[in-house]
Amino acid sequence: MMKNRVYDMPQTTCHGPYHMRHVICPARVVSHDDGVIGAQANHAVFRTSPGSASEVYHVGCCVGEIVAKKKTAR
């Protein structure tokens, strides 16, 4: 069944030419605890077809952690 879906996808999915623009806000520090920094950034993806207005394709929030690497003596 999965094989049929993959095979039929190019025939059933029809997309015209378009451009995607990804916009990501600067990351914001939301927490800092013992060498681990919690950060998040909002993002949006806009899709534009030639001759038409841009439309919002996706919006969301990226959440992650930055872990400080401990220095080692040489």
Residues 13-35 pLDDT 10s? 566 788 999 999 999 999 999 88
Q: Are strands 36-48 and 28-33 parallel, antiparallel or unpaired?
A: antiparallel
User: Per DSSP, what are the bridge partners of residue 13?
Assistant: none
Q: Supply the pLDDT for residue 37.
A: 93
pLDDT in tens, 33-70: 988 999 999 999 999 988 899 999 999 999 999 998 77
Distances (CA, A) of 33 to 28, 39, 50, 68: 15, 12, 48, 11
